[in-house]
Amino acid sequence: MAPRNTKVAKKAKRTKVTRSKASKKTKVAKPKSAAKTSQPGQRFFERQVIDRFETLKVLLVNYNLELMTSSELLLLLKDTDDIDKFVAKFRGFCGHTVGELYRDVSIRYVVTSHESMRTRFSFFERKPDSEAIFLFHNTEPVGFLIMRRGDCRKRPQSMVLTLVCAIQMPGVPLGSMLLAMAVFCALQAGEPEILLEVANGRGGNWTAACAYEKFGFKLTPSIANCFSSGDPDRPMSLSLKDVNVGMLERLITDKTFEGLESQQCHMWRFTRQLSPEYAKDALENPIQRNSVTEKILNQANITQMPRAEAEMTIEQQLRFLIQQRSTT
């Protein structure tokens, strides 16, 4: 697992941003239209758009973070050799939940498809439109998010969130900050939707699936088998009609805000706090599992879910918890 940065956590505590204070400043430009508006050659992540998200800008300063677009970052790459170093720098943040090949290729495409690299790579080595934002803390990379239009064959005009990975920094919602910026840019561009497929969706990946759900991503079976990644179990889509900038601001400034998450993800907030040892015991011992189920249902205040569904969900979450901790 990537090292936990206690310095950042302490600083974050000292410089807590309240939503009311920060949100006043965000300029909300009207989307250009309800349909897809980006012109060919126009970038999704543009500095002037990113800088309009004032609340996130304040958070970045407070947490001592810097956000760069792929266009800005790649101008700094001088040699082709740098590409492998570049990929190596960022891939460590994805843990073992994301397939290694998918991860490396996705990061590489951000580099090879950039216009400054066009003469160095053949058409087959490029994937036009691959773009990313990168987060740095004191010049050290700590996370990234990649987007690309057209990765879903069934909806070639839609933006696809290819991959998001971040290290864990206690008290600093790096993943949510990256997601909030991607959704903000989509809102500003008047995109109708964002699509994605949860890496290792079959194995659960509750962390990622629930991070997406908070923002309003919903399971969308109609786009299964639409992506090249070949993990068809958890395709999701976000209709931009369901979100607004105020909601994005709350998601990055208010830890308790649940956004649009489901009951299952609400339960995951509590399940993920258990130790892997405790989770293992609960899976092996039916009495203990029953008592854990009761406890989580009480804490999460879940009253309407059928018992069998609750038990199955908690069992899956306990398994994922053990798997996640044993591979980080």
Min CB(285)–ligand COA separation in Å: 26
* Using rule CB under 6 A, residue 166 touches ligand COA: yes
95 binds ligand COA (CB under 6 A): yes
Cβ closer to ligand COA: 86 or 268? Answer: 268
Q: How far is the CB of 177 from ligand COA (least distance, A)?
A: 7
Please say which residue, 10 or 120, places its beta carbon nearer to ligand COA: 10
Residues in binding contact with ligand COA, number by CB under 6 A: 25
203 binds ligand COA (CB under 6 A): no
Residue 60 lies near ligand COA (rule: CB under 6 A): no
Binding flags for ligand COA, 233-262, as an x/- string (CB under 6 A): -------------------xxxx-------
The nearest distance, CB 15 to ligand COA, in angstroms, is: 12
Choose between 163 and 240: whose C-beta lies nearer to ligand COA.
163
Q: Is 94 in the site for ligand COA (CB under 6 A)?
A: yes
Judged on CB neighbours under 10 Å (0-12, 13-18, 19+), 277 is exposed
Residue 208 binds ligand COA, judged by CB under 6 A: yes
Please report, as residue ranges, which positions from 170 to 199 form the binding site for ligand COA (by CB under 6 A): 171, 173-176, 198-199
Residues that bind ligand COA (CB under 6 A): 93-95, 97-98, 163-166, 168, 171, 173-176, 198-199, 205, 207-208, 211, 252-255
